[in-house]
Amino acid sequence: MAKLDSKVPEGKLKDKWSNYKAHQNLVNPANKRKIDVIVVGTGLAGGAAAASLAEMGFKVKNFCYQDSPRRAHSIAAQGGINAAKNYPNDGDTIYRLFYDTIKGGDYRSRESNVYRLAEVSNEIIDQAVAQGVPFAREYSGYLANRSFGGALVSRTFYARGQTGQQLLLGAYSALSRQIGLGNIEMHNRSELMDIVVIDGKARGIVTRNLLTGEIKSHFGHAVVLATGGYGNVFYLSTNAMGSNGSAIWKAYKKGAFFANPSFIQIHPTCIPRHGEFQSKLTLMSESLRNDGRIWVPKKKEDAEAIRAGKMRPEDIPDEDRDFYLERRYPAFGNLVPRDVASRAGKERTDNGFGIEKNSTGEGVYLDFKYAIDRLGKDVIEARYGNLFQMYEKITDENPYKTPMRIYPAIHYNMGGLWVDYELQSTIPGLFVAGEANFSDHGANRLGASALMQGLADGYFVLPYTIQNYLAYEITNPRMNPEEHPEFKKTEDEVKAHITKLMSVNGNKSVDYYHRELGKIVWEHIGMSRNEKGLKEAIKLIKKMKKEFWANVHIPGNTDTVNPELEKANRVADFIEIAELMALDALNRNESCGGHLRTEYTTEEGEAMRRDDEYMYVSAWEYKGDDKDPQLNKEPLHYEEIEVKTRNYKTA
Amino acid sequence: MAHKTINIKLRVWRQKDAKSKGGFEKYELENISVDSSFLEMIDVLNEKLISENKEPVAYDHDCREGICGMCSLFINGRAHGPDNLITTCQLHMRKFSDGETITIEPWRVGSFPIIKDLMVDRTAYEKIMQAGGFVSVATGGVPDANSILIPKDDAEEAMDAAACIGCGACVATCKNSSAMLFVAAKVSQLALLPQGKIEASRRAKNMIAKMDELGFGNCSNTGACEMECPKGISLAHIARLNREFLVAGLKA
């Protein structure tokens, strides 16, 4: 078994990051100009990293598949970003944010990384404000805060329901400035097709121009992947249509270990699906749980009447409503973490209390009546107006008058490429930031922590740690990809892969396979899992992979805009990622965070962790297309935290 | 539950590439759920075209929740179609009636050349942003966030402007193809905040110079842009832009 060196610095938890920075290698200004860094992705992590590295003096090449870096899907994050500022004086500290994040992740994340995340959280808010991010303010002119799940303090900063947009546009403005100054070479509408590894080090990437189909190599002294999550394995998710796992999957096949692939987040509050042509799901921010109360009918006959369209939720009196989160988790109530809220909703709907008028019979209510009675409609509108408008446009229902119907949906991947303390993968020179890595959220991510982690990695962690690697690269001159056989070889492999896809010439569309894959993973690797289902999933996925490669149909040509080819390339990888997810979920004979194995639950229906056997990170190593991947384990140690059973019932 | 469905006729702009001549193609679709989004309807059309071994319609889209700004369709003569304060991806088929003919075109703006079918090239927007759409601050070395006090009303107004998604509907709607609303949104947002105020007039000057250089037209204060903006960006921001631009002229 390969040894995983997490490179956690010595010393006390609270001193590790300062000690690291005090002793790490740096690159002097004259040498920075001679160093090329490739950054793939322009979301919070990628955009912030590219801008910061360019400001420092490195030559950056930045890539995105969209027509502009500003479109990256970080833009869709709604509710907020956490920081341990303690501005409201409610007792927050860096330690408390760290503790909440470790506990929220069900003790499956790396202690040192999470502490550093909490430590730099405050700097992120300072940086965003300096850029002109218009966070919400009090009448005094000071910054406002609100609450999110899994915390007893108000530590979330927000810009209406568009916090991700504003933070991303902040990073984008810094990025634009550096592009204008000539420090960043920006490649829009470019898709990463493979990573180039030379003498064991990441040395560049091969891309496909999505307008011309041109396959091109790019050299970098180091490569940063900030390409987000692979939630679209499920077909329906809250991800953007183009969000994909291909970059990290190609890296996995080149030797980067894939950690905890089965750790996915199912968000409890999304707008329910309407029919079979549904293309994606829309999230309703967790911030709504500050003022919305979640309930289902107490009486089964009421639920049945609602599903049959014979009764409306407004007809049910308070005493016949089951506010099940408040009932089961008095301390945190409607603000329990996402995995707990999703599961509790599933428990109610599985038992026949769901409210959706369709075959699933799922769905619960998120009701603002009580907050409107208490605070007035104007206050609620000021807080959530854009979210309510979004809901009304999609469902044609007015949430000020009738409760929102909500349903869980795939939202985020805690799993991702394995990285050490420096955010370096198992391929030297290949760094991974943001959702694409695995390190900070364990088995469940708390709300408003994705923005925090993306920007922490991008602004304040990676631009430092990467220098500890680049300091040894200053004597290596830039390579000319056209003269190096390894670039040529990788390009040829990419071209062969595309030719293979195009030449299948079958009779089923890419979307057909993607939808089918989505059904398999949702049923077997979704909100609850068990050994039998996971084994079945692996069988079905293997079968689907064969069928896809025998029968997929991609119209059009390779040398022009061809969205079907783009999708086919991504779906081919999603199929393989799905198999690894199933394998990982099967290996983990316990329940933790978002990973619920039905064989391992308590009598009360709560997740049953098995720390004695599974307190480790699963890091999967690719061994070839026809071979099973090898499992490597990084044991998790908690020095500053007492590992407990998660409890949201009492404080 | 049975969903209500409609039958529709489509006139869709098809164009092979930037150099080719384009034209409308007609298609018919049956049993489209009124709860489908407009783009899901196009997905159905594309699935049909693929099954007939024809090339699907190329169009830009990504987040499908009205925030990334990638979708850019001109539907029945209106940017983002017949509803207010939404993007194309948030438009739903319940806004159309059974038997209706729907015309779908790309943005028609000289500075946004057509790439293929309904896709256009908005690189010009990138260049304007690179010319000045930022506060010149680098990562690190900034003061505590609460040391910069901002009156709530100013923060709210800045947020109104900052809501711009860079889709280009304002330019596509303007009879002069002016990018003033887009530029004004960024200039106004940053001019309203103390941290952006310092370089406000310089920013206005640089962004407007770039806008002119890229061939966008002049603003004649007609206000069509404001009407079609999916985020409701107000014309008032153009007044603030003009003020900053004027100050830049006085300083020069």
3-state helix, strand, coil in chain B (%, to 5): 40, 15, 45
Q: What angle do CA A55, A57, A58 make, to 5 degrees?
A: 105
Mean pLDDT of B102-130: 98
| Domain termination residue (choose one: B85, B116, B147) | B116
Torsion of CA A523, A529, A532, A535, to 10 degrees: 70
Q: How does the average pLDDT of chain A come out, rounded?
A: 96
> Do B108 and B186 fall within a single domain?
no
The predicted pLDDT at position A551 comes to 98
> Do B112 and B130 fall within a single domain?
no
Torsion of CA B56, B58, B59, B63, to 10 degrees: 70
**Option in B1, B33, B152 nearest A139 (CB):** B152
Task: Collect all residues with Cβ–Cβ distance below 8 Å to A503 and sequence separation of at least 6.
Answer: none
Q: Per-residue DSSP letters for A39-90?
A: EE--SHHHHHHHHHHHHHT-EEEEE-SSSSGGGSGGGG--S-EE----TT-S
Contact A548, A497 (CB under 8 A): no
Architecture of domain A37-266+412-481: 3-Layer(bba) Sandwich (3.50)
Chain B hits for A85, Cβ within 8 Å: 145-146
> Do B111 and B140 fall within a single domain?
no
Q: Please give the C-alpha separations between residue A89 and each of A85, A86, A145, A155, in angstroms, as whole numbers.
A: 9, 5, 11, 10
Q: Which amino acid is at A440?
A: D
Rounded to whole angstroms, the Cα distance separating A586 from A423 reads 27
Mean pLDDT of A209-215: 98
Q: Which chain B residue is nearest to residue A166, measuring alpha carbons?
A: B162
Closest CA to A396 of B100, B226, B231, B4: B4
Interchain contact, A564 vs B50, CB within 8 Å: yes
> Do B56 and B133 fall within a single domain?
no
Q: Which of A393, A509, A564 to mutate to test the interface with B (most CBs of B within 10 A)?
A: A393
Q: Per-residue DSSP letters for A452-485?
A: HHHHIIIIIIHHHHHHHHHTTTTTSPPP-GGG-H
Instruction: Write the class of the CATH domain A268-410.
Output: alpha beta
Closest CA to A110 of A453, A463, A451: A453
Closest CA to B117 of B228, B33, B218, B16: B16
Is the pLDDT confidence value at A221 over 80?
yes
Rounded to whole angstroms, the Cα distance separating A515 from A512 reads 5
For A197-207, b/e burial (b = at least 16 CB within 10 A) is: bbeebbbbbbb
The predicted pLDDT at position A272 comes to 84
SS3 label, residue B167: coil
The predicted pLDDT at position B1 comes to 42
- Which of A207-211, A467-471, A638-642 bottoms out in mean pLDDT, i.e. has the lowest? A638-642
Contact A83, A167 (CB under 8 A): no
Q: Which of A280, A306, A455 to mutate to test the interface with B (most CBs of B within 10 A)?
A: A280
The predicted pLDDT at position A651 comes to 65
The predicted pLDDT at position B251 comes to 76
Residue B7, CB-side half-sphere exposure with 13 Å CA sphere: 3
Mean pLDDT of B210-228: 96
> Do B31 and B138 fall within a single domain?
no
Q: Is A160 in CB contact (< 8 Å) with chain B?
A: yes
Q: Whole-angstrom distance between the N-terminal and C-terminal Cα of chain A?
A: 42
> Do B99 and B81 fall within a single domain?
yes
Q: Is A177 in CB contact (< 8 Å) with chain B?
A: yes
Is the pLDDT confidence value at B2 over 80?
no
> Do B42 and B149 fall within a single domain?
no
> Do B69 and B151 fall within a single domain?
no
Q: What is the pLDDT of residues A557-572, one digit of tens each?
A: 999 999 999 999 999 9
> Do B87 and B187 fall within a single domain?
no
**Option in B68, B121, B193 nearest A71 (CB):** B68
Interchain contact, A389 vs B85, CB within 8 Å: yes
Q: Is A306 in CB contact (< 8 Å) with chain B?
A: no
Residue bearing the bigger pLDDT, A448 or A647 = A448
Task: Collect all residues with Cβ–Cβ distance below 8 Å to A18 and sequence separation of at least 6.
Answer: none
Q: How does the average pLDDT of chain B come out, rounded?
A: 96
Q: What is the pLDDT of residues A572-599, one digit of tens each?
A: 999 999 999 999 999 999 999 999 999 9
Rounded to whole angstroms, the Cα distance separating A128 from A380 reads 26
Q: What is the ipTM of this complex?
A: 0.98
Hey, what long-range contacts does A322-327 have (CB within 8 A, 24 or more apart)? A322/A295, A322/A296, A322/A297, A322/A298, A322/A348, A322/A353, A323/A293, A323/A294, A323/A295, A324/A294, A324/A295, A324/A296, A324/A348, A325/A294, A326/A293
Q: Which chain B residue is nearest to residue A168, measuring alpha carbons?
A: B68
Contact A143, A137 (CB under 8 A): yes
> Do B109 and B127 fall within a single domain?
no
Place of tokens 């799993």: A415
Mean pLDDT of A206-212: 98
**Option in B135, B150, B165 nearest A130 (CB):** B135
Rounded to whole angstroms, the Cα distance separating A609 from A589 reads 9
What confidence tier does A359 reach under pLDDT thresholds 50, 70, 90?
confident
Rounded to whole angstroms, the Cα distance separating A590 from A262 reads 12
Q: In CATH, what number is assigned to the domain containing residue B159?
A: 1.10.1060.10
Is the pLDDT confidence value at A319 over 60?
yes
| Domain termination residue (choose one: B97, B116, B135) | B116
The predicted pLDDT at position B3 comes to 67
Helices B180-191/B200-213 angle, 10° precision: 170
Structurally, chain B folds into a number of domains equal to 2
- Which of A1-15, A132-146, A287-301 bottoms out in mean pLDDT, i.e. has the lowest? A1-15
CATH 1.20.58.100 in chain A, residues? 482-623
**Option in B56, B70, B163 nearest A162 (CB):** B163
Q: Which residues pair with B74 in a beta bridge?
A: B79, B105
| Domain termination residue (choose one: B84, B116, B148) | B116
> Chain A closest CA to B127's CA: distance in Å?
8
Q: What is the pLDDT of residues A511-536, one digit of tens each?
A: 999 999 999 999 999 999 999 999 99
> Do B129 and B233 fall within a single domain?
yes
Interchain contact, A393 vs B50, CB within 8 Å: no
Mean pLDDT of B219-232: 95
Chain B hits for A211, Cβ within 8 Å: 115
Contact B61, B67 (CB under 8 A): no
Is the pLDDT confidence value at A465 over 50?
yes
> Do B139 and B240 fall within a single domain?
yes
What confidence tier does B249 reach under pLDDT thresholds 50, 70, 90?
confident
Q: What is the pLDDT of residues B48-105, one digit of tens each?
A: 999 998 999 999 999 999 999 999 999 999 999 999 999 999 999 999 999 999 999 9
Catalytic residues of A, by residue number, are 338
Mean pLDDT of A594-610: 92
Is the pLDDT confidence value at A151 over 60?
yes
What confidence tier does B37 reach under pLDDT thresholds 50, 70, 90?
very high
The predicted pLDDT at position A2 comes to 60
Q: Could you tell me whether strands A258-259 and A616-621 are parallel, antiparallel, or unpaired per DSSP bridges?
A: antiparallel
Range(s) of the domain holding residue B99: 5-116
CATH number for the region A482-623 comes to 1.20.58.100
CATH 3.50.50.60 in chain A, residues? 37-266+412-481
Q: In CATH, what number is assigned to the domain containing residue B22?
A: 3.10.20.30
Mean pLDDT of A13-39: 97
Is the pLDDT confidence value at B180 over 50?
yes
